Structure 1
Amino acid sequence: MIKRGIGRQIVLHYFIVVFVTLFMVEVIFSLAIRMYYYDTIKNHMYVHSTWASDYFQKFVRLNAERDPDYFTEMLRTFELDNTELLILNNKGEVQASSSGFQADKAIQTSDVPQAAAGNVGTWIGRQTSTGETVMAVSTPLQVRGETRYIVRYLTSLESVNSKLMNLTLVSVGVAGAVLALVTLFSIGLANSIVKPINNIRAVSAQMAKGKFDVRIKGNYKYELGELAATLNYMAQEIVRSNQIKDDFISSISHELRTPLTGIKGWSETLKLGGFDPEETELGMGIIAKETDRLIGLVEEMLDFSKLQQNEMKLVITVVNLKEILQETMLNVWAKAEQKGIQIKLDDHIERGIYVNGDGNRLKQVFLNLVDNAIKFSAENSWIHFVIKQQSDTQVLVEVVDSGIGISHEHLNKVKDRFFQVNHQGGGTGLGLAISQQLVELHHGQMDIHSELGVGTTVSVMLPIHEIKDEGEVSSPDG
């Protein structure tokens, strides 16, 4: 007994389809073979009845109808084996019979009235006297266009029906064997599908319980193979995501501990008092700097949370993209000067170019990109902002650096949340993930191209609102 499930459904569907098909074939075969045998018998009797009619016409022309041996001669000449030949008048009364049987009343089966009307009549039915199934073929014998007599052949169909029954039983047996083979085949097919599904289900249940180190084993084909590969990939990604999350927690704990330690140390030190104004100012400056650093970390995590929950609200205005880039450069100028890094704007557009967007959020994107470029660039290197119009509807901004670059292994992961190429570099690993989503909210696209030891280029494609004269400039805040 097959357990309830997809295996039973497969076997049941195969069984029903094959059973219905075989049943229809069986019915059609039985009807066709029966019709073939019956038509053969009917045609055989019809041919002989036609000959009898021709014989009768010859005797009419010779005026031999008055011969008392006329019917006897016809019976002897046209008699068939296992078939009774009757000569009837046009009322159905028996005039002569090859079996010597004389009916006490006229025969009125459907073939006789048809023959009396001048047509060839056929009747299949059960003989009242014997209970046998018989076939009768009646042909008119006409004199000057008028039916005078009827020649009627009558034969039993019991032998034929018995042969037909045997053929039917054989065909039913063959159909049963075919149905059994198909059922066995469908059971094997169902097992070949159900066993992998059960294996996948068992491993998935373990994954659901948090055991992401398990994998689906087996070389499955087609959709099952794709499903197994997808689940294995999902488990691998969950493991990687958990590892990234753990690294993030470790990193953010370190990032939070460092400024908090500085704030706590200097606040306790200043609390003791007795310091000169310069020392007090130094301590307060460190506390303010570390506080700003904490605020930046918290705001970055809040921004990411809002983006994940689709709660980020943009204040959309028409903003001058070149002005945003210039302000970004001014904001990071001091930080770049500390490492001797030169920042330059390569402007390939003579007039202002405008986009629909939130000026502050776009500025956040470019600040994050150039901050990463400064962080991972060597001293006395360079960073270029490149802005150029790609088409009538798009503008391209590139942040190009000559820093350490990103390996091919890490390039596809740098925009993932919490991912950090260098965990010692600080940060939350959310900057590029946030920038990516902010660019997408502006209906743009961000791509990263990098070569290890050569440098990195981050491309931001944004839709253009309008190109105006240089005098028509609006602020990034709208």
Structure 2
Amino acid sequence: MIKKGIGRQIVLHYFIVVFVTLFMVEVIFTLAIRMYYYDTIYNHMSNHSMWASDYFQKFVRLNAEGDPDYFTEMLRTFELDNTELMILDRSGEVKASTNAFQADKAIQTSDVPQALAGSVGKWIGRQTATGELVMAVSRPLQIQGQTQYIVRYVTSMESVNSKLLNLTFMSIAVSAAVLALVTLFSIGLANSIVRPINNIRAVSAQMARGKFDARIKGNYRYELGELASTLNYMAEEIVRSNQIKDDFISSISHELRTPLTGIKGWSETLTSGGFDPEETKIGMGIIAKETDRLIGLVEEILDFSKLQSNEMKLVIGEVNLKELLQETMLNVWAKAEQKQIQLKLEDKTEGSSIISGDGNRLKQVFLNVVDNAIKFSHEQSWIHLVISRVENERVRVEVIDTGIGISEEYLNKVKDRFFQVNHQGGGTGLGLAISQQLVELHHGAMEIQSELGVGTTVSVTLPLLNDSAPTGTQTQR
């Protein structure tokens, strides 16, 4: 007994489809073979009765109707093997018969009136006396267009029906064997599907309990193979995300501890007193700097939280990209000067580069990208900012540096949340993830091309301003 589940459904569906098909074939086969046998017998008797009708006029010329042997000779002339021959008059009375038992009353079956009407009569039914199933074929015997007698052939259908019954039983046996084979095949097919599903379900249950090191083993094909690969990939991604999360927690703990340590140390030192105004000023400056650093870390985490919960609000307006990039360069100019890095802006748009967007959020994007370029560039190098027009009324901003670059191994992961190529470099690993989402909120795209030891190019593509561009405050959806 197959237990409830997809296996039973597969077997049941196969069984029903094949059973209905075989049943229909069985019915059609039985009817067709019966029709074939019956029609063959009818045609044989009808052809012989036609010969008898055609020969009757010659028979009359050779035999006088008043002769006592007239009907006996007629029976001998028109007889047919394994068939009872009856000569009837116009009223259906039996004048002669090859059957030793004469009917005691006129024949009233439907074939007789048909023969009297001038056509071939056919009747299938059971004889009143014996209950035997017979077929009767009657045809008129005419002289000069007038029906004189009716020749009636009667044959038993019992042996034919017996053969038909045997054929039916044989076909039922074949159908049952086919149905059994199909059922066995469907059980095997169901097991081949259910076993992998049960295996996948068991491993999925382990993953649901937190055992993400569990893997689905087996070379499954088609959709099951894709499902197994997807679940294995999901587990790998969860493990990787957990590792990234752990690294993030470790990194953010360090990032928070460092400024807090500085703030606490200087606040205690300043509280103790005894410092001249210059030292006090230095201490307060360090406290303010570390406080700004903490605020930046917290704001970055809050921005990411808003983006994840679809609560980021954009204040949409007209933004001049060239002016925005110039402001960005001014904001990072001091940091670039420390490493003697040259910043250069080139506008290739040959016209206006005004877009519809949130200027503060876009500035946040470009600040993050340019800050990263400075952070990972060599001293006395350069960073090139290029604005250019692209197809479909869009504008592209490229930030090109000749820094350390990113290996192919990490290139597809740098925009993932919490991911950091160098954990010693500081930060939360959220900057590029936030930038990516902010660009997408502006219906744009951000791409990164890099080669280790050569440099990195970050491209941000945004739609240009059109007359129908919305303004005002929008919420992420």
Deviation for aligned residue 1:19: 0.8
Q: Which residue identity is paired with 2:329?
A: M
Deviation for aligned residue 1:330: 0.3
Q: Which residue identity is paired with 2:118?
A: G
Which residue number corresponds to residue 472 of structure 2? Answer: none
Distance in 2 (CA, whole Å) between partners of 1:92 and 1:188 is 67
Which residue number corresponds to residue 399 of structure 1? Answer: 399
Q: Which residue identity is paired with 2:220?
A: Y
Conserved? CA contact 2:397–2:459, under 8 Å: yes
Distance in 2 (CA, whole Å) between partners of 1:370 and 1:134 is 105
Deviation for aligned residue 1:44: 1.0
Deviation for aligned residue 1:101: 2.7
Conserved? CA contact 2:120–2:139, under 8 Å: yes
Q: Which residue identity is paired with 2:402?
A: S
Gaps of 5+ in 2: 468-477
Which residue number corresponds to residue 157 of structure 1? Answer: 157
Distance in 2 (CA, whole Å) between partners of 1:385 and 1:100 is 122
Deviation for aligned residue 1:64: 3.7
Q: Secondary structure at the match of 1:465?
A: coil
Which residue number corresponds to residue 411 of structure 2? Answer: 411
Residues 132 and 422 (structure 1), Cα distance of their counterparts in 2 relative to 1, 3 Å cut:
same
Conserved? CA contact 1:59–1:65, under 8 Å: no
Deviation for aligned residue 1:390: 1.4
Which residue number corresponds to residue 38 of structure 1? Answer: 38
Which residue number corresponds to residue 296 of structure 2? Answer: 296
Which residue number corresponds to residue 344 of structure 1? Answer: 344
Q: Secondary structure at the match of 2:315?
A: coil
Deviation for aligned residue 1:392: 5.6
Conserved? CA contact 1:245–1:418, under 8 Å: yes
Q: Which residue identity is paired with 1:211?
A: K
Q: Secondary structure at the match of 1:315?
A: strand
Deviation for aligned residue 1:67: 3.7
Conserved? CA contact 2:63–2:70, under 8 Å: no
Which residue number corresponds to residue 127 of structure 2? Answer: 127
Cα deviation digits, residues 402-440 of structure 1 (max 9, x gap):
110000000000000000000000000000000000000
Q: Secondary structure at the match of 2:354?
A: strand
Task: Please show how residues 3-22 of structure 1 align to structure 2 within 5 Å.
Answer: 3-22=3-22
Cα deviation digits, residues 262-294 of structure 1 (max 9, x gap):
011111111111110000000000000000000
Task: Please show how residues 432-471 of structure 1 align to structure 2 within 5 Å.
Answer: 432-465=432-465
TM-score (normalised: structure 1): 0.96
Which residue number corresponds to residue 177 of structure 2? Answer: 177
Conserved? CA contact 1:117–1:147, under 8 Å: no
Which residue number corresponds to residue 245 of structure 2? Answer: 245
Select between 455-464 and 57-66 the one with higher mean Cα deviation. Answer: 57-66
Residues 427 and 127 (structure 1), Cα distance of their counterparts in 2 relative to 1, 3 Å cut:
same
Cα deviation digits, residues 183-208 of structure 1 (max 9, x gap):
11111111111000000000000000
Select between 224-233 and 340-349 the one with higher mean Cα deviation. Answer: 340-349
2:272 is the alignment partner of 1:272: yes
Distance in 2 (CA, whole Å) between partners of 1:274 and 1:435 is 46
Conserved? CA contact 1:91–1:116, under 8 Å: no
Distance in 1 (CA, whole Å) between partners of 2:460 and 2:3 is 57
Conserved? CA contact 2:320–2:354, under 8 Å: yes
Q: Secondary structure at the match of 2:289?
A: helix
Conserved? CA contact 2:368–2:431, under 8 Å: yes
Residues 63 and 158 (structure 1), Cα distance of their counterparts in 2 relative to 1, 3 Å cut:
closer
Distance in 1 (CA, whole Å) between partners of 2:460 and 2:248 is 26
Select between 23-32 and 247-256 the one with higher mean Cα deviation. Answer: 23-32
Distance in 2 (CA, whole Å) between partners of 1:140 and 1:281 is 139
Deviation for aligned residue 1:59: 3.4
Conserved? CA contact 1:46–1:137, under 8 Å: yes
Which residue number corresponds to residue 361 of structure 1? Answer: 361
Distance in 2 (CA, whole Å) between partners of 1:465 and 1:61 is 116
Select between 51-60 and 4-13 the one with higher mean Cα deviation. Answer: 51-60
Q: Secondary structure at the match of 1:134?
A: strand
Distance in 1 (CA, whole Å) between partners of 2:181 and 2:351 is 81
Deviation for aligned residue 1:99: 1.3
Q: Pairwise CA RMSD of aligned residues?
A: 1.3
Conserved? CA contact 1:392–1:464, under 8 Å: no
Select between 320-329 and 344-353 the one with higher mean Cα deviation. Answer: 344-353
Distance in 2 (CA, whole Å) between partners of 1:84 and 1:351 is 112
Q: Which residue identity is paired with 1:16?
A: I
Deviation for aligned residue 1:61: 5.6
Distance in 1 (CA, whole Å) between partners of 2:466 and 2:325 is 17
Cα deviation digits, residues 97-124 of structure 1 (max 9, x gap):
1113321211111111111111101111
Conserved? CA contact 1:123–1:137, under 8 Å: yes
Q: Secondary structure at the match of 2:96?
A: strand
Distance in 1 (CA, whole Å) between partners of 2:188 and 2:439 is 54
Which residue number corresponds to residue 325 of structure 1? Answer: 325
Which residue number corresponds to residue 70 of structure 2? Answer: 70
Q: Secondary structure at the match of 1:149?
A: strand
Matched pairs, number? 467
Q: Secondary structure at the match of 1:317?
A: strand
Task: Please show how residues 99-248 of structure 1 align to structure 2 within 5 Å.
Answer: 99-248=99-248
Q: Which residue identity is paired with 1:137?
A: V
Deviation for aligned residue 1:89: 1.1
Which residue number corresponds to residue 380 of structure 1? Answer: 380
Distance in 1 (CA, whole Å) between partners of 2:166 and 2:351 is 98
TM-score (normalised: structure 2): 0.96
Q: Which runs of 4+ in 1 moved over 4 A?
A: 60-63
Distance in 1 (CA, whole Å) between partners of 2:187 and 2:141 is 66
Cα deviation digits, residues 432-460 of structure 1 (max 9, x gap):
00000000000001000000000000000
Task: Please show how residues 55-66 of structure 1 align to structure 2 within 5 Å.
Answer: 55-60=55-60, 64-66=64-66
Distance in 2 (CA, whole Å) between partners of 1:20 and 1:148 is 54
Which residue number corresponds to residue 309 of structure 2? Answer: 309
Residues 100 and 392 (structure 1), Cα distance of their counterparts in 2 relative to 1, 3 Å cut:
closer
Q: Secondary structure at the match of 2:299?
A: helix
Q: Which residue identity is paired with 1:134?
A: V
Distance in 2 (CA, whole Å) between partners of 1:52 and 1:287 is 131
Deviation for aligned residue 1:60: 4.3
Deviation for aligned residue 1:351: 3.3
Which residue number corresponds to residue 470 of structure 2? Answer: none
Deviation for aligned residue 1:157: 0.6
Distance in 1 (CA, whole Å) between partners of 2:446 and 2:68 is 117
Q: Which residue identity is paired with 1:111?
A: D
